[in-house]
Structure 1
Amino acid sequence: MHSLIASPFLEDHLLVRPGARGGFMLPAHRYEELRAHDGAGSGPAWLVDAVRGQWPDLDPTGPLGGYLLVRRPSAWGYSRASWEINLGCNYKCKHCYLGLKVNSGMPLADKLQCLQIMAEAGVLWLQITGGEPTVDKDFIASYRAAYSLGMMITVSTNASLLWRQNLLDLFRECPPYRVTVSMYGATKASYDELTQRQGAWDVFVQGMNAARRARLPLRMSVIVTEDNAAEEQSMIDLCQGWGLEYNVFTNMTPTIYGGAESLTAQSKEHLRLRKPFGGCNAGHTFFHTDPHGLVSICKIGRDDQISLPSEGIDGLARLGAIADRLMLRTGGCTGCQLSGTCTVCRPLAKHYQEAKAPLGSYCQHGIKKAG
């Protein structure tokens, strides 16, 4: 199994290592040199020196094909993707934007086909999410397939199963780029209440202890809601005590179906004014795939989905135009004089409108009126 990946990335080329943050840009002629190598002999001297300087624990003196995977160029120009392997979850979090947790999805053969298409489209960074991805029966096989295709994988999880030896073995053999863990409280009472599962705190702690012992590349997402609002600092203190990076999330969003039930978990005292939306490359260099292989521009803008199992990679040709149309300020935002400084994209604003959310939770007009 490879330890390094040389890959095109948008207009550039990168040398990266699964499980590691560091990496460096490759001039085009260096990438082509690696691509033309037969893999049987040792790597070029410049590569050996670069690897020793960046990753001293990695031995680059053997056959190049024994540790380096060179990815082919893609004509499609995508570099990142997210994939909901399943919407099923072992928690029932009050704030979850997915709404109903349904254990459904594609058979393994279709999952592997979709991953192959993602790689062909140029995806280097892949986020595997859910629901809770590790509860999916095909998670390990799918993860291994994505790794073998040369993807730098982020797993978004609640950590409840990270103590399992089969997962720890998987991550040791095929290191993830990052494991992002959602944190729902600093005490058993608040954690179990928000997740609506008795014993959730206990398995979270068990999973975190195992993940830290295994030195997984963890980053915490601290979720602040009505149930745990008094524990915001305590959650931060735990992250800092563990020596882990963290981000704090306080603004809840409607469900992907436009439902308002997730908004009831919002702590009004913790609502934060978002930064003005400056645009994004959703649909152009990034896309999202749901459990049935339906591609959308992102997790929020799920209109006009494209079926990878049915249409194959050629279906992605329509995605850019779909993205441009979905980002237009239409519907309830038509003619808005403040659209240039709006803090949410149009697809997210549409979800808030469908959920009949208070205007002040997402729109400048409501914020100004409340102020």
Structure 2
Amino acid sequence: MRTLIASPFLGEHLVLRPDDPRAVKVGAHRYRDLLAAATRPDNVVPAWLADAARQRWDLDLAGRRLTDTVLVREPSALGYGRASYELNLGCNYDCEHCYLGVKRFEGMSWRARELVLRLMRDAGVLWLQLTGGEPTIDPLFSEVYRLAWDLGMVITLLSNGSRLHHPAILELLTSRRPYRITVSVYGATEQSYDGLTRRKGSFRLFSRGLEAACAAGLPVTLSLVITRHNEHEIDAMRTLADRYRLPFNEYSNISPTIHSGAETLPSQSAAFLRARKPFMGCGAGHTHFHVDPHGKASMCKVGRDSAVDLVTEGLDGLLRLGEIADGLMARTGGCSGCALSSTCFTCRPLARLYQESGAPLNRYCQHTGR
């Protein structure tokens, strides 16, 4: 199994380990040398790369075959760097705040998923986020994860942690280590956690999964989800993260569903409605994209209109995605001509969801006095 990946990434060239935040930036000429060496039957890890691997990761690659230790990825004419993939909208929880709304268990066949993963690789995707619903309950999770890893994509897994203790999943994640596993935390006690997820026993499964992942030395980060149901436990949730010595982020701004549904909004904690920084634009649709369970590629998880069908259109469809994204980012409706647009803190696709859901202005707009 290869140890390192060499790949273009947004105009640069990197050599990296799938589970390590440190990378080695190399020049275009050295990347081309690796591409050429990978085609020769007598290839050996170049001395410069062996030295870099020793210094950066304490790896001894001297004298080893290049193709046994480094996956050298082909360049892509599209040049995307990141993508997210929803394996399935289904979930074993029923959280009131979930932005997916109705969580149907739907997904593609393995043949279609394999095609989509290879298209992502061919589009240049190096960092891949696997999400859901809950991705680990998908019947093809292991197959998707394994192929994505083997294709040379660096994986971040978003999970509620409820199945991380399963032996097959642990074996997969320890043999093909992810870059990061982000585990959502919905409370610090069984009463609070199970109340938020609306699933009895969910706190027990979360705790068991977190214990197993930490014992296996997996790279876990916690996402503390704050709602009106658990805001009283925020300090205890932080203490939980500290007890496991895990880094954590806090998520507290609740959005409408992807269908502009307002059913999530009552779960917002008024005390933890955070002010966002001004939105300065992003590369959605240009440097990264999102794929839903049916193989539809959109600019991101929020802006899903005019999606490209990867299964039928392939890479040619992605050529349209930048133009689609630019159209969705244009200010329309109540946002067109806004005098405060230069300091707006909500991107246009998200603002549209808030508007269509009838959310209070203070959730997404500076014109709270109107």
Global fold match (TM > 0.5):
yes
**Secondary structure of 2:289's partner?**
strand
Map residues 28-67 of structure 1 onto 2, 5 A cutoff.
Answer: 28-37=28-37, 38=40, 40-57=42-59, 59-67=61-69
Alpha-carbon distance between aligned partners in 2 of 1:57 and 1:238, rounded to the nearest angstrom: 34
Q: Offset of 1:332 from its aligned partner?
A: 1.8
- SS of structure 2 residue aligned to 1:49: helix
Which of 272, 275, 281 is matched with 2:274 structurally? 272
Q: Write the distance in 1 (CA, Å) between the matches of 2:27 and 2:277.
A: 35
Give the one of 143, 146, 165 matched to 1:144.
Answer: 146
Which residue does the alignment assign to 1:259?
261
Are the structure 2 counterparts of residues 239 and 61 from structure 1 closer, same or farther at C-alpha, using a change threshold of 3 Å? farther
Tell me how far apart the structure 1 counterparts of residues 4 and 360 of structure 2 sit (CA, whole Å).
Answer: 49
SS at match of 1:360: helix
Deviation at 1:25, TM superposition (A): 0.4
Shift of 1:41: 3.4
- From 67, 70, 83, the counterpart of 1:68: 70
- My pick for the range that moved more, 285-294 or 26-35, is 26-35
Give the aligned residue type for 1:24.
V
Deviation digits for residues 173-201 of structure 1 (CA, Å, limit 9, x no counterpart): 11111111111001111100000000000
1:120-159 pair list within 5 angstroms: 120-159=122-161
Q: Which residue of 2 is the match for residue 313 of structure 1?
A: 315
Indicate yes or no: 2:79 matched with 1:77.
yes
Equivalent pair of 1:39/1:66 in contact (CA under 8 Å): no
With over 3 angstroms needed to count, the CA separation of the structure-2 counterparts of 1:362 and 1:149, relative to structure 1, is: same
| Corresponding pairs, count | 368
Find runs of 4+ consecutive structure 1 residues off by over 3 angstroms.
57-61
Distance in 2 (CA, whole Å) between partners of 1:142 and 1:296 is 20
1:252-300 per-position Cα deviation (integer Å, ceiling 9, x unaligned)? 0000000011111111111111111010000000000000000100000
- Please name the residue that 1:341 is paired with: 343
Counterpart contact for 2:45–2:61, Cα < 8 Å: no
Determine the C-alpha separation between the residues in 1 that align with 2:229 and 2:338.
Answer: 35
| Structure 1, unaligned runs of 5 or more | none
Matching residue of 1:18: 18
Query: What is the percent sequence identity of the aligned residues?
Result: 52
For 1:316, the aligned partner's letter is L
Does 1:113 find its partner at 2:81? no
Shift of 1:40: 4.0
- Cα gap change, 1:39 to 1:248, in 2 (>3 Å): farther
- For 1:205-228, what per-residue CA distance to the aligned partner results, in whole angstroms no more than 9, with x for missing partners? 000000000111111111000110
Quote the residue 1:290 is aligned against: 292
CA contact (8 A) 2:223 2:250 kept: yes
**Change in 2 beyond 3 A, CA 1:97/1:39:** farther
Q: Residue by residue, what CA displacement relative to the aligned partner does 1:79-134 show, whole Å, maximum 9, x if unpaired?
A: 00000010010000110000011100100110010000000000000000000000
Shift in CA distance, 39/178, structure 1 to aligned 2, threshold 3 Å: farther
Quote the Cα distance in structure 2 between the aligned partners of 1:26 and 1:109.
Answer: 35
The 1-side partners of 2:24 and 2:70 are apart by 14
Shift in Å at residue 61 of structure 1? 3.7
Q: Which residue is equivalent to 1:212?
A: 214
Contact 2:50 2:60 in 1 (8 A): no
Return the TM-score normalized by structure 2: 0.98
Write the letter of the residue equivalent to 1:8: P
Query: Which residue type is aligned with residue 19 of structure 1?
Result: D
Match among 174, 198, 201 for residue 199 of structure 1: 201
CA contact (8 A) 2:16 2:22 kept: yes
| Residue of structure 2 aligned with 1:354, choices 348, 353, 356 | 356
Give per-residue Cα distances to partners, 1:10-55, cap 9 Å, x unaligned.
Answer: 1110001011111110111111111111264321111111101111
Q: Equivalent residue for 1:6?
A: 6
Counterpart of 1:365 in 2: which secondary structure? coil
CA offsets, 1:308-349, max 9 Å, x none? 001111001110111111111111211111111111000000
| 8 A contact 1:60–1:67 mirrored in 2 | no
TM-score (norm 1): 0.97
Matches of 2:69 and 2:20, distance apart in 1 = 15
Of residues 171, 174, 191, the one that matches 1:172 is 174
Describe the SS at the equivalent of 2:319: helix
